[in-house]
Structure 1
């Protein structure tokens, strides 16, 4: 079975706060707000048609996701990270995802590998799509690919932790890197190398392929140190 990922949204009490959280998070992950830019609470109340309480509840959850920063007596800003912080994050994230690919090669079933093949084919079909459509479709499909690999590792706890890093990964790629524009074929090639290693039941090769795939994410194909 595929493990359901954890979420900061699980601690949000109200329906309206959930709605604001989900919609504002999607804006942040799509790069609609620049790093360091202010998020004005009153403006958000108007945009979402809600009172201040659900907006603040959503912002606190997003702060827990490290996507925004709440500064008392100052306001709320979109998180901005230094180049060193981005590099350190992807160094760590690559090793987490590599470990999950290693386990997938050991414990994944033939049925799951067949499902992974279908997901990879669906992503490859996006390569000829208009840029905006392709990027949105890739971001969603990429989550599916990695989520399935997490599930193949047969550890709900490890899958939960790895999946929850994805929000920050997508945010950093779109706000501090080059995004996925013009890079779908390159990213899909990386998935293929991971899938091939998993199919061969080669844990070390799967781990290395995934590590390199993640490390080339933020800088447009130039591997991080």
Structure 2
């Protein structure tokens, strides 16, 4: 049997996780601009919870570097300098390039077929955008989901759960920076889909150097990344 205190802690933990997950998705989607204050009172009202789970969620988000908690001041959405953002994408491009390198060596035929299908799905978005007279990737949910699915699959191909977990955290920060510091994905769907296809071809041909180079360049073509 759980003690009353144990049950309270368990419920509090569930509530904190719920607030954390929802607020994190809002942050990754760009609902809150960089530097915007977030008040505990507003979050309590929005989620209909007490102060404790809100504070627990905010501390978890601070550990993710998505918010900054300043004692006696308050909580703000994290804001980073251009130099910090550029350095992040430089590092991130190398990390993802390494995952693509391993994926080319370790992928299965079934995984390769799945990757081809995901590339086809995003290229279908390209065709619909062209038919509608627009060629911009934007930050539409279909593209964001498809893009993340491609990279998640490449992580699975690399067959390294520890590396994939670390890279997953970097992807969250990447999406956050694009949404809050760059206004969403920019550039044409043609260009971004070409990057995915070039990574696919390197993995298909079991050419790790080609896959790594294509992935590195694909990340560096992100709207906030500079080319060293």
TM-score range, shorter chain: 0.7 to 0.9
The Cα offsets for residues 81-134 of structure 1, whole Å up to 9 and x where unpaired, read as: 000000100010000000000000111011100000111112222233698996
After superposing on structure 2, the runs of 4+ consecutive aligned residues of structure 1 that deviate more than 3 Å are 129-134
Q: Secondary structure at the match of 1:14?
A: helix
The alpha carbon displacement at 1:223 in A equals 4.5
Kindly indicate whether residue 32 of structure 2 is the aligned counterpart of residue 29 of structure 1: no
The alpha carbon displacement at 1:76 in A equals 0.3
Q: How does 1:33-44 map to 2 (within 5 A)?
A: 33-44=32-43
Alignment partners' CA distance in 1, 2:92 and 2:35? 23
**Map of 1:124 onto structure 2:** 123
**Conserved 8 A contact 2:186-2:223:** no
**Conserved 8 A contact 2:138-2:185:** no
Gaps of 5+ in 2: 1-10
Q: How does 1:51-200 map to 2 (within 5 A)?
A: 51-127=50-126, 128=128, 135-181=140-186, 183-200=188-205
Q: Residues 132, 198 of structure 1: CA spacing in aligned structure 2 closer, same or farther, 3 A cutoff?
A: closer
The alpha carbon displacement at 1:184 in A equals 2.8
Alignment partners' CA distance in 2, 1:126 and 1:23? 27
**Map of 2:218 onto structure 1:** 213
The alpha carbon displacement at 1:26 in A equals 1.1
Alignment partners' CA distance in 1, 2:189 and 2:179? 14
Alignment partners' CA distance in 2, 1:13 and 1:191? 42
Report which of the two structures shows the higher radius of gyration computed on alpha carbons.
2
The alpha carbon displacement at 1:186 in A equals 2.1
**Conserved 8 A contact 1:106-1:203:** yes
Q: Residues 180, 117 of structure 1: CA spacing in aligned structure 2 closer, same or farther, 3 A cutoff?
A: same
Gaps of 5+ in 1: 1-11
Kindly indicate whether residue 55 of structure 2 is the aligned counterpart of residue 47 of structure 1: no
Q: Secondary structure at the match of 2:17?
A: helix
Counting matched residue pairs gives 212
